[in-house]
Amino acid sequence: MKFLSLTLASLGLASAASVANKVSKVSYDGWKVFRVNDGDTAEFQAVVDNLQLKTWKGRVGHSAVVDVVVPPTQIEAFTSSGLDTKLMHDDLGASIADETNFPVYASAKDARAPNATWFNAYHTIADHFQWLKDLSAAYPANSEIIVAGKSLEGRDIQGIHIWGSGGKGSQKGVVWHSTVHAREWITTMVNEYAAYKLLTATDTATAAYKDKYDFYIFPLVNPDGFAYTQSTDRLWRKNRQTTTSASCVGRDINRNWPIQWAATGGASTSPCAEDYKGASAGDGVETKVLKAHLDGVAAGKGVQLYMDIHSYHQLWMYPYGYTCTGTIPEAATYKTLVAGAVAAVKASHGLTYEPGPICSTIYKVTGDSVDYAYDVAKAKFSMTVEMRDTGNYGFVLPPAQIVPGVEEMWAGLSYLLANM
């Protein structure tokens, strides 16, 4: 999700205008999140600008609903502004504390192979790396850890390669990315759950997926940003790359791919913006790594399916992001396939996801990986999702929703694998 407005660092929110120097951990204690039902009005924008507030959602489709993050010092002014609001988070800091009560991970070094209890809580970045290694070590005949490259700060962009009876590299590729935007923690768990199901499930349908495709699953493609959400600012979005033109830090990796990068209206040219596109197309350290890996799969057996997992708003989308008028030739096929995936999601836990092209379903997006995978890497299918929920919790989704969240996504992904 992107932001409508820019919050100044004077509010103490480092995620909008952080400098490269180390900063103290951002506290959201006492902060509230409100849903505003008339977010497309000049009155609303005036309030946001005057109080220098950050928003959690841009205009989605034809909806004017916007979620607004309000610090304690501005709560009285905001609630007395006359806007039509609903309280979402009463204390954002308390919600974050519930998320960050990390359990101790007993790794396979203690003779415990990864199991489903992993999905009962969120975890530290170190445990995420170790868990994936332990999962692969438990199934060496069908998987291996792969490293696409290094992040800006030298962390591995680590994934897992999973294959079937034909041996590794024998089939067309399925490439899945998640945690492109660092604060979207639930998405990390989705790709880990997908890898877990592919390796542990014993049913014939799942075995058939592995026999038909080679899977390249990357749960944490923005490890520096993710680490920063755990050390400093839970709501950080971008990578941690500096720019020579400003003191602000970070590029939006999903606005930096070399596809319609120079087009206007789908990303920001301001280094301080949450959706900053970067100084040039593909100049993001992580973008280069991810692009090179995707290009490599494409140059081999080809890409059957590319997926980019995000949160939040319950949307299942496909190209294009950079234009709301252009239509892909396979639009009818995509529409049918996505409708089936959405139905499978709803059958799992009852949630409704809205299907459609990126631009008209959420907003215009330029320099995004889905359009690149479709137009350049020639993926037969290229899609993205915005996961649960629709704003009750937003980016700070309670641990109790991890299991139903990953289960419903696996239901949708399984439908694609069985029917695409």
Instruction: State the catalytic residues.
Output: 386
Residue 253, CB-side half-sphere exposure with 13 Å CA sphere: 30
Q: Is the peptide bond before 389 cis (omega within 30 degrees of 0)?
A: yes
315: three-class secondary structure by DSSP = strand
Packing angle of the helix pair 185-200, 223-231 (nearest 10 deg): 120
Q: Which two tokens stand for residue 59?
A: 């205009």
Residue type, 407: E
Strands, sheet with 303-311, edge to edge from the N-terminal-most edge strand: 143-150, 156-162, 213-218, 172-178, 303-311, 381-387, 315-318, 354-357
Spatial neighbors of 159 by CB under 8 A, at least 6 apart, are 132, 145, 146, 147, 148, 216, 217, 218, 219
> Considering only CA atoms, which of 372, 295, 307, 377 is closest in space to residue 341?
307
User: Residue 86 phi/psi, 5° resolution?
Assistant: -135, 135
Q: Which two tokens stand for residue 28?
A: 């959201």
Partner residues linked to 268 by β-bridges: 276
Report yes or no: 281 and 15 within 8 Å, Cβ to Cβ: no
Burial class (CB in 10 A: 0-12, 13-18, 19+), 282: middle
Q: Which residues of 354-393 are buried (b: 16+ CB within 10 A; e: fewer)?
A: bbbbbbbbbbbbbbbbbbbbbbebebebbbbbbbbbbbbb
93: three-class secondary structure by DSSP = helix
* CA separation for the pair 217, 146 (Å, rounded): 9
Q: N- to C-terminal Cα distance for the chain?
A: 27
Partner residues linked to 357 by β-bridges: 318
- For 80, other C-beta atoms within 10 Å of its C-beta total 8
